[in-house]
Amino acid sequence: MFQLLVSKTQSMKNDLLSGLTVALALVPEAVAFAFVAGVEPLVGLYAAFMVGLITAAIGGRPGMISGATGALAVVMVSLVAQHGVQYLFATVVLMGILQILAGVFRLGKFIRLVPHPVMLGFVNGLAIVIFLAQLKQFKFTDDSGQLQWLQGSDMGMMLALVALTMAIIHFLPKFTRVIPSSLAAILTVTLLVIGLDLDTRTVQDVLANMTGNPAATIAGGLPDFAIPMVPFTLETLYIIFPYAVILAAIGLIESLLTLTLIDEVTETRGRGNKECVGQGVANVVTGFFGGMGGCAMIGQSMININSGGRGRASGISAALFLLAFILIGASLIEIIPVAALVGVMFIVVIATFEWASLRLWGKVPKADLLVVLTVTVVTVMTDLAIAVVVGVIMSALMFAWKHAKHVEFETWTENEGNTKVYLSHGPLFFASAQSFRDNFQPKSDPDDVIIDFKDSRVMDHSGIEAIDAVAERYLAAGKTLHLRHLSPECVSLLQKAGSLVEVNLIEDPKYKVADDQLA
């Protein structure tokens, strides 16, 4: 049954107020990402509204906020520059279809393959990215078109208002939780600026600076349905398919990692495959209604969670408030001081960064610390998807190397020295295959040799080839090799691979134990 609230005890008031707070923070983000992608502000705002609404309603993680994101925008910019915005809309539709297929085929479970050090690097990197993104609000464009830092009283006013916003968010919950502290901070700073007629930058100033139009506004109408105006040919598919695959992968990775983070914060569990489908449906719809597509937003999701929004109503209300801003409330939103929104995002940065990771030195393996640092740096320097892939590959290689060194053998003789037994310890796979082969001495061993796999397991084809290679060496020396305690899975693996050498499998003895315990 569809539930607006995460539980019966969850307050609808908290969800609505939290949704309003998130909507206020979504406006400058959506506009900024639209310009990164090279499209009009309303294309970003429509995406934030539609993706946010649909994923909140049918996605797999109540309380998570989705919308237009920078990770997707940086990929879109080249497509828009080369082929135009209509190709972007077609790409977003195809991206959504791919995401739906990922959910249908239950590929969301592969997020479990992301190790914890990669997660730490992911959140730390995103915290730094969010922080760096706010610094541009402390700059202005001079007459020559160059960005310069604010000076003198302008910088002082900006810093003071940011500090006031952060102080309200931090201290207000100690006195009351009737209203989300982030919303209270935005309203207080806005009223203070208006009441004292303080000279500071507003959302409208940011819009004017981005567009070069002093009369720029976020006002607009309802999005219209339209099939992307592109030729329905294989050539079009060749153009949009690579972008769609990249966008779908980035969107799902960022969404599923954000879902995992919120799971940890709220001590609940979202549904990854359902989120894949929800994101996909949202992007298909967005592409047909003139939006740039999107995925989960960690910053806005953390604002929502910290403001008390835990149910689906928080995400739905955030999307509807954003639509209201576009339709009727643009003039009110545009007077909000940018400093208030920057203060909110700075609090998000502090809450998102895993400060405990700074105390891991000397407490966890250095390899894990290297993964955390690498993923953090790559996230900041490139994008999230590349960082996660790099982190997973590093972790996998380190795991393989570590376990490759764990292949050890115990040896002894039986039958008065006529039989030698090798007891293998550790997994037999591609990284340990060479070490496995090097432990055998066919020339000096007796005529009968047993390899005991009681404490080992054949993991892949490289392991099979290692057994074959050892068996060939003993066969060439005119000696007999037996395998003992191979698991049924390992035997099946050998048989399916068509092992080159027939190996004598010793069956485990079946023991009959008398049980004199009374029934």
- Per residue in 69-107, pLDDT (tens digit) is 877 887 888 899 899 999 999 999 999 999 999 999 988
CB 243 within 8 A of CB 91: yes
Pair 271, 391 in one domain: no
* Domain end among 341, 369, 402: 402
Residue 294 has pLDDT above 70, yes or no: yes
Pair 28, 176 in one domain: yes
Pair 205, 322 in one domain: yes
Residue 315 lies in a domain: yes
* Domain end among 374, 402, 430: 402
More confident residue, 91 or 508: 91
More confident residue, 86 or 33: 86
CB 465 within 8 A of CB 436: no
Range of the domain at 365: 358-402
Residue 514 lies in a domain: no
Pair 201, 250 in one domain: yes
Q: What are phi and psi of 167, to 5 degrees?
A: -65, -40
Pair 471, 489 in one domain: yes
Residue 93 lies in a domain: yes
CA distance readout (Å), 177 to 21, 108, 314? 14, 36, 16
Pair 297, 184 in one domain: yes
* Domain end among 334, 352, 370: 352
Pair 394, 412 in one domain: no
Predicted confidence band at 181 (pLDDT cuts at 50, 70, 90)?
confident
Pair 294, 339 in one domain: yes
Residue 509: per-residue pLDDT: 42
Residue 8 has pLDDT above 70, yes or no: no
Pair 368, 309 in one domain: no
Pair 437, 486 in one domain: yes
Pair 389, 474 in one domain: no
Tokens of 154: 């302008």
Angle at 300 between CA 299 and CA 304, to 5 degrees: 120
The fraction of the chain above a pLDDT of 90, given in percent, is: 30
Number of domain units in the chain: 3
Pair 333, 371 in one domain: no
Residue 468 lies in a domain: yes
